[in-house]
Structure 1
Amino acid sequence: MIGIGNIVALQHGAMTCRLAPDCGGSIASWTKQGAHGLINLFRPASFAAESSGSATDMACFPLVPFSNRIAGGRFTFQGRAVTLPPNLGFSHAIHGHGWTAPWTVDERSDRAARLSYHHPAGAWPWRYSAVQTIALDDDGLVMTLDLINESDSAMPAGLGLHPYFPKPPGTRVTTGLTGMWESDGNVLPRSRHPLPTRLDFPAGLAMDDSVILDHGFTGWNGQATVRWCGGVADGTSVSLLADGPFGHLIVYAPAGETFLCLEPVSHMTDAVNHPEEADAGVFVLAPGERLSGTVRFRVSSP
């Protein structure tokens, strides 16, 4: 747990995006003033969450240099055995390092900011830097992630974003997917299957209380839309448009919660331990090489 520190507020038209750089380079809230009141486009951090400084209670946080779990925090890469400490109360390493550390505000304007994070070699035996560029425009929010290998040997690499969306009754998600990883009791991939008929995301899936997910999906077309019905957000939608290495989608919709997560990521869960999977998604960065990706969050209002 780290302090939330200073808030950097970006403003453009009716939209406001509040950044918490000290809290894992997170976004604390993203809102738009609608005709009937303030609309939360991401689930906002509560006052208590802002006081605690936990990135998992924020509106969105970055995933570098990998997303989701590495089983037991252990893997071997090019003959080198790596053991990472577990985090978030799991027996696994999860979500990389960026979300647990403060980021530096390198540049900012009224509607954009550039944040950076520098990681020295340690248990993760490669030195790297990560950069987030976060900007508001007429259509919504644009986030670009860059990961640069600053060590003297090749490094396995991945990127992702972990946005939280409000999930009031009537929330519907539409996205193009073809397959799903079934998980074991540790939420690690066990077997891959075609997309179940009960999860008809391509046709638009009502995210009611019967839809409980913490799964990785394959065959993602790089687009997804969250649409709300009722309340001040009635008819409003946010569409994700991913460019770059984001070939996988994690959907997290836990039981009894009023949020859901649609996480664009570059690789499957525990990808470094699945070299047999042709589309596992692990990138290998040579010294000095960069991995980049952009996700656009487009807002549509009635």
Structure 2
Amino acid sequence: MTIEPITLTAGDAEATVLPGNGGRIGGLRVGGTELLRQGDRYGCFPMVPWCGRIREGRFRDGAVVHRMPLNAPPHAIHGTARDAAWRTARVTRDEAVLTHDLTDPWPYSGRVTQVVSLAEDALTLTMAVETYESSFPAQIGWHPWFNRTLDGGEGVRIDFAPAWQEERGEDHLPTGRRVDPLPGPWDDCFGMPGGVDVTLTWPGRLELKVTSPEEWVVVYDEQEAAVCVEPQTGPPDGLNSAPRLVTPLEPLEATTVWSWRRL
């Protein structure tokens, strides 16, 4: 199993993919400038087979209640795949294909495939969860940590126009009520029925758009070093509130594109 870091190149863009560290994107450089926060826990990691928090680590599938480890007590957070080594299935100059087989503590068998494709002005991430055995609920998402500043410049601006915000309870999970979007700082889930479309602008440096056909995005900007824009196939605790089913006939698939231009 090849778990060595992979470097993709396209024009003056360069991406580092880390199969051995949760299949995450370890870095994205444009013209030599690093866009992602560095460190083993950062970059951009895949959230699968669920996104965000599961309340008290418990989710129901029919009459069965499953319990996930409480890695963000009192909840379980961000899936299991980010803690595993992924396999490298194929690599070219500008594309890498990684796979991960779901296993304990996740109670179902399945395979996750992630495709990382780099162009001169965009990074495209595609993920699919498939099974040949029992159907199960799942979610797909990505958790990028974008640097708040680039080379000491002005702080990033976040622009988006969600249709609603999921009201956040004291336990950091949606209450089930939708409210009008509130001003930041945020650690919140938003609905964008026309598809995720969020613009990050580093004044005088770079504009980057995060887009996805999915309608859910979590925005997190409570840390000084970085901001997160997380497209996903459902809201936090979505295995309970808005499950998407993976079946032998129908995998769960999602994609996101980060496109950029110099300012």
- Aligned counterparts of 2:35 and 2:24: Cα–Cα separation in 1: 15
The aligned amino acid for 1:162 is H
Corresponding residue of 2:186:
213
Q: Which residue of 1 aligns with 2:259?
A: 298
Q: Match of 1:107?
A: 90
Partner of 1:40: 34
Indicate conservation of the 8 Å contact 2:245/2:252, yes or no: no
Cα distance in 1 between the residues matched to 2:124 and 2:7:
15
1:270 paired residue number: 237
Does 2:95 align with 1:127? no
Which deviates more, 63-72 or 177-186? 177-186
Work out whether 1:171 is the aligned partner of 2:156.
Answer: yes
Q: Say if 2:157 and 2:201, in contact at 8 Å, map to a contact too.
A: yes
- Pairing 1:57-206 to 2, within 5 Å after superposition: 57-87=41-71, 89-120=72-103, 122-151=104-133, 153-168=134-149, 169-190=154-175, 191-196=177-182, 199=183
The amino acid of 2:221's aligned partner reads A
Partner of 1:223: 197
Aligned counterpart in structure 2 of residue 250 of structure 1, from 210, 218, 222: 218
**SS state of the match for residue 272, structure 1?**
helix
Query: What CA distance in whole angstroms lies between the structure 1 residues aligned with 2:251 and 2:163?
Result: 29
- Conserved in 1, the CA contact under 8 Å of 2:112 and 2:129? yes
Root mean square deviation, CA, Å: 1.7
User: Residues 139 and 239 of structure 2 are in contact (CA less than 8 Å); yes or no, is this contact kept in structure 1?
Assistant: no
Instruction: Report the more deviating stretch, 165-174 or 67-76.
Output: 165-174
- 1:280-299 alignment, distance < 5 Å: 280=242, 282-299=243-260
Flag the structure with higher helix content.
Answer: 1
- Cα-to-partner distance string for 1:42-94 (whole Å, 9 max, x where unaligned): 23x1xxx3xxxx4xx2210001111001011112111111111111x422111
CA contact (8 A) 2:208 2:259 kept: yes
Q: Secondary structure at the match of 2:22?
A: coil
How far 1:184 moved relative to its partner?
Answer: 2.4
Counterpart contact for 1:128–1:150, Cα < 8 Å: yes
Instruction: Summarize deviations over 1:185-229 as a string: whole Å, max 9, x none.
Output: 321112431113xx3xxxxxxxxxxx4221111235321110101
Instruction: Could you tell me which runs of 5 or more consecutive residues in structure 1 were left unpaired when the two chains were aligned.
Output: 200-210, 275-279
Aligned to 1:206: none
Q: Which residue of 2 aligns with 1:14?
A: 12
State the alpha-carbon separation in 1 of the partners of residues 14 and 140 from structure 2: 25
- In the alignment of these two chains, the number of paired residues is 255
CA contact (8 A) 1:143 1:294 kept: yes
Secondary structure of the corresponding residue to residue 299 of structure 1:
strand
Q: Do 1:126 and 1:150's aligned partners in 2 also have CA atoms closer than 8 Å? A: no
8 Å CA contact 1:29, 1:58 repeated in 2:
no
Q: CA deviation at 1:288?
A: 4.6
Letter in 1 for 2:180: P
Q: Indicate conservation of the 8 Å contact 2:110/2:132, yes or no.
A: yes
TM-score calculated relative to the size of structure 2: 0.91
